[in-house]
Amino acid sequence: MESRSAGKVTDDEVLRLAREVADRLMESAGEAEGKADLADGAPGIALALRYAAEVFGDDRYFKAGRLQLRRTAEASAAAPLRAPGLYLGTAGVVWAVTEYARVEPRYLPTLATMTDQLARQTLAIKLDTAAGSVASHDYDVIGGAAGWLAALSKAAGVLGGRATDAVREATDRLVDYLVELSRDDGGKLRWFCAPSHFPSIPGPDGQPTPLPGYVKNFPDGVYNLGFAHGPPGILAALCRPDAAHAVGGAAGSAGQEARSRRVRQGVRDLARMLESLRIDGLDHPAWANLLLPHPDTGRPDTDAEQVPARSAWCYGPPGIAASLLPASAACGDPEPTDLAVATLLGLERTPADDQRLNSPTLCHGLAGLVTIYGRAAAQTGLPDLRRMHDEFLSRMCSYADPDHPYLFPDYDPWGRQEHNAGLLTGAAGVLLALLGTVSDAAAEWDEVLFLTPRPPSGYGPGGSGAAPNRDRGAGET
């Protein structure tokens, strides 16, 4: 619940709040310090403190972030990361170390070792592409191939010649896999999740058993539409500029050109597919969380009754728009970015009950919208997107309460407060969203949220040239 009315917030106020959150994270990150995952562990804290150091010009934050990286190493030594996921495994640690290696070369040897480890983890995993044999965690942003690809590509860009053959092989394989999932053969779509591949928990006998809610509500399988666990994440990963080029291929080779064509077609197909799965009959673009398979064809049943998803990064129109924003540049068609802009503008016409915004945090709250609209406004130059960004920023800042451990609490769907320091549902994500609003350089952190590098200001449809550089140092607070 918002703690006070949301009025216009100044850059000075944003910087004050950001410093207070960074100071609290530097003092203690609570349970997050014992976790090695990017979602709510030490790597996410390290990422936030690294950008706080850049914005404030304060080496104390950088040193505190390095301490979080050491705690990540300790946590992963105690409980080795056996899964490669971006937010739940090795790829997240690689991402955080990559961000430090960009500004501190001493991390390059560690990064090279860890990136090779990540590549070998992904190469050891069987990647099925037949409809009915694919689980969302095989390909998604949170734990699957979309996140692995983004982390490997980002690290390879920093490592240059230090990247191993395994890194190049894994990157190529993941691009081909995600492109294959985008193909439509006329039957069930390849990213359809059958009951046999539902998320699972340990059963009474200790063996994995599908989540009961999935089995009850989706007995015939399901199509997931969220950015976090659905095809928008595949689209975002394939929109990376490096995805269209074979990392190990020779420049200008026939094989590289063929791959580029396949990637462009995959982006085009996924963007058109997402457009076709919109909920009909609304005056603004919206999507459901999930779609059932049609009983006759097995394809997504868009004629069945649908409930609009919440307005968030993880699920709903803002996250889907974030995946569509870079698609026009990746495939050469203007329609995806046009749809993204219409979707973001349409949020003002979305009833509050459908928006379901009750938290300041990143995954399902206002920090995610601040970041999405900040990137969209910078890319398009559209004043309405900048205005909406500023409104979401004011609403997010209104949650600040000095009585909360990290200044900004998270709220569950029932309005209960939760206090954590993590990235996706905690203070680290809010800190990064704050920093990105006052510094173009700090705004580059959002690549971890959208998988694509931040485009230059004013780039893309509607762009009106570069926006003024808003970078401000600590002495300007």
- 3 state DSSP class of 270: helix
Contact 340, 325 (CB under 8 A): yes
pLDDT classification of 33: cutoffs 50, 70, 90: confident
- Name the H helices within 124-195: 136-139, 145-159, 165-181
pLDDT of 467 strictly over 50: no
Radius of gyration of the chain (CA): 21
CA dihedral 28, 29, 30, 34 (to 10 degrees): -120
pLDDT of 110 strictly over 50: yes
Please report the pLDDT score of residue 470 as a whole number: 47
Q: Which letter does DSSP use for residue 288 in this model?
A: B
pLDDT of 349 strictly over 70: yes
Please report the pLDDT score of residue 248 as a whole number: 43
- pLDDT per residue as tens digits for the range 307-319: 899 999 999 999 9
- pLDDT per residue as tens digits for the range 155-203: 999 999 999 999 999 999 999 999 999 999 999 999 999 998 987 777 6
- pLDDT per residue as tens digits for the range 443-453: 999 999 999 99
- 3 state DSSP class of 282: coil
Contact 109, 163 (CB under 8 A): no
Contact 386, 375 (CB under 8 A): no
| Overall pTM surpassing 0.85 (yes/no) | yes
What lies within 8 Å, CB to CB, of 67 at 6+ separation is none
Contact 130, 77 (CB under 8 A): no
* φ, ψ (nearest 5 deg) of residue 104: -140, 100
